[in-house]
């Protein structure tokens, strides 16, 4: 069939879905594009939700990815507030909620993202207990943050710590409860986590690691968090930030290969013909030297959208660089390049007590991953050192008198 008569249906109008639609048009896709999203808002970026939106400095609509005008200009049919209930890869058809006719597709892109992991705790359904994923979640929390309010974050990962910083900046009394012995345990080495803990404590956030939570208490509204050691933390608001699970119900029930996420190759192709996946939902078979990874990051959603669009247009996928992720907490910007928990010797460039420093994990004379603390200007050169596997000595890396670009240039 002529490409101009083919229809791509994209399920999930978040970052990966809407960027795929835009990339398809930019790359010259002539056929129809239908983008279906369960939320009512025009597609928006999520990173500001836990930062500027909670701090009351922005609205989710300030970070819209795809406006009504763009849809019209680009010929993208955006269907908001609609949920796809079932897909039938054999018939190349998908089924929406009751009252909607089934929809045929020639190519299907699944971009349904991920959802916050729930804790099966007594009291998790009380008023005042929140998760943070959508614009609606962020607005509901932001409306309640005011000076003196007691806010408890369950989970000391990025989302929990960003929300903690935002609540503190609004004058709330904030406690972070983390089960692991360190913060951000999945992504950074212990000395970096300690630095972030010091940052939060210095700003008045109470942090307790290695705690187990027994339940949330209150009559209708949450009033306290009960810990396994018998103590309790008073709370007016509780935010659960304990990780996310892939929204892979549709592909699982359609028999597409999944394992907390749809398994995809470097073109975003799934095990079903004509079906692709992108963004938080996708689990990469192989990514940048690492097998079986699912990335929940802004960068991955952007890149995979372009890879899938390229695959639909039979273009080769460009090589991926080292994965990149950032977080903003108080006045600290942390950027992680590579897989943050790679093995290796920790080499510091600058001291953790400085405002700006870099930390590298080095093995066999090569940087495996890096954390840049208020040093985003070094991102490009550090990515080069990692991606080109440039041989470096720990002494040179740690020498702040020696610009990093000279290490890259010397190779």
Contacts with ligand FAD, residue ranges (CB under 6 A)? 11-17, 36-39, 46-47, 49-50, 83-84, 111-113, 132-133, 159, 247, 250, 279-281, 296-299, 301, 325-327
Minimum distance, C-beta of residue 146 to ligand FAD, in the bound complex (Å): 20
Q: In terms of CB distance, is 327 or 369 closer to ligand FAD? A: 327
Beta bridge partners of 239: 130, 153
Q: In terms of CB distance, is 57 or 343 closer to ligand FAD? A: 57
The DSSP letter of residue 127 is B
Q: In terms of CB distance, is 305 or 392 closer to ligand FAD? A: 305
The closest of 126, 104, 97, 124 to 34, measured between CA atoms, is 104
Minimum distance, C-beta of residue 158 to ligand FAD, in the bound complex (Å): 7
Minimum distance, C-beta of residue 3 to ligand FAD, in the bound complex (Å): 25
d(CA 254, CA 32): 24
N-to-C CA span, the chain: 50
Q: In terms of CB distance, is 3 or 249 closer to ligand FAD? A: 249
Minimum distance, C-beta of residue 302 to ligand FAD, in the bound complex (Å): 9
Q: In terms of CB distance, is 12 or 156 closer to ligand FAD? A: 12
Structure tokens at 123: 């009291």
**CB atoms closer than 10 angstroms to residue 364:** 8
Minimum distance, C-beta of residue 263 to ligand FAD, in the bound complex (Å): 15
Q: In terms of CB distance, is 236 or 328 closer to ligand FAD? A: 328
Strands (E), 186-331: 206-208, 213-217, 224-227, 232-234, 237-240, 244-246, 262-264, 275-277, 282-287, 290-293, 324-329
By beta carbon distance, the residue nearest ligand FAD is 14
The DSSP letter of residue 145 is -
Minimum distance, C-beta of residue 116 to ligand FAD, in the bound complex (Å): 8
The closest of 200, 203, 190, 202 to 359, measured between CA atoms, is 190
- Rounded to whole angstroms, the maximal C-alpha distance in the chain is 68
Structure tokens at 299: 């960068």
Report the phi/psi class of residue 48: left, alpha or beta, with left for phi > 0 and alpha for psi in -120 to 50: alpha
d(CA 91, CA 102): 11
Q: In terms of CB distance, is 91 or 228 closer to ligand FAD? A: 91
Q: In terms of CB distance, is 49 or 176 closer to ligand FAD? A: 49
Minimum distance, C-beta of residue 396 to ligand FAD, in the bound complex (Å): 29
Contact assessment for residue 227 and residue 212, using Cβ atoms and an 8 Å cutoff: yes
Minimum distance, C-beta of residue 352 to ligand FAD, in the bound complex (Å): 21
Q: In terms of CB distance, is 19 or 349 closer to ligand FAD? A: 19
Minimum distance, C-beta of residue 170 to ligand FAD, in the bound complex (Å): 16
Report the phi/psi class of residue 155: left, alpha or beta, with left for phi > 0 and alpha for psi in -120 to 50: left
Contact assessment for residue 243 and residue 114, using Cβ atoms and an 8 Å cutoff: no
The DSSP letter of residue 175 is E
């Amino acid at each position: 069939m002529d490409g101009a008569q083919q229809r791509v249906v994209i399920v999930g109008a978040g970052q990966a879905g809407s960027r795929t639609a835009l990339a398809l048009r930019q790359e010259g896709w002539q056929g129809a594009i239908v983008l279906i999203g369960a939320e009512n808002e025009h597609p928006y970026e999520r990173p500001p939700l836990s930062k500027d939106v909670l701090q009351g400095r922005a609205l989710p609509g300030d970070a819209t990815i795809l406006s009504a005008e763009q849809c019209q200009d680009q010929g993208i049919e955006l269907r908001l507030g609609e949920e796809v209930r079932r897909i039938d890869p054999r018939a190349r058809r998908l089924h929406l909620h009751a009252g909607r006719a089934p929809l045929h597709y020639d190519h299907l892109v699944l971009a349904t993202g991920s959802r916050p992991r729930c804790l099966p705790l007594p009291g998790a359904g009380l008023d005042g207990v929140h998760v943070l994923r959508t614009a609606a979640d962020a607005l509901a929390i932001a409306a309640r943050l005011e000076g003196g309010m007691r806010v408890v974050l369950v989970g000391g990962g990025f989302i929990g710590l960003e929300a903690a910083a935002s609540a503190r900046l609004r004058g709330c009394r904030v406690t972070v409860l983390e089960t692991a012995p360190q913060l951000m345990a999945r992504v950074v080495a212990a000395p970096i986590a300690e630095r972030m803990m010091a940052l939060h404590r210095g700003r008045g956030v109470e942090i307790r690691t290695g705690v187990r939570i027994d339940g949330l208490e209150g009559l209708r509204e949450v009033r306290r968090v009960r810990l396994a050691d018998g103590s309790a933390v008073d709370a007016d608001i509780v935010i659960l930030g304990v990780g996310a699970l892939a929204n892979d119900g549709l592909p699982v029930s359609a028999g597409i290969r999944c394992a907390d996420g749809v398994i995809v190759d470097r073109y975003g192709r799934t095990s079903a013909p004509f079906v692709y996946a992108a963004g938080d939902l996708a689990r990469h078979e192989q990514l940048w030297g690492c097998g079986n990874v699912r990335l929940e990051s802004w960068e991955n959603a952007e890149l995979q959208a372009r890879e899938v669009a390229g695959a639909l247009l039979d273009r080769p996928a460009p090589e991926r660089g080292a994965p990149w992720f950032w977080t903003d907490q108080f006045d600290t910007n942390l950027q992680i390049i590579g897989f943050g928990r790679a093995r290796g010797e920790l080499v510091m460039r600058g001291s953790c007590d400085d405002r700006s420093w870099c930390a590298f994990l080095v093995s066999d004379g090569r940087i495996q991953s890096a954390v840049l603390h208020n040093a985003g200007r070094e991102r490009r050169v550090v990515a080069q050192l990692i991606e080109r596997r440039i041989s470096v000595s720990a002494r040179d890396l740690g020498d702040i008198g020696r610009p990093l670009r000279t290490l890259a240039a010397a190779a």
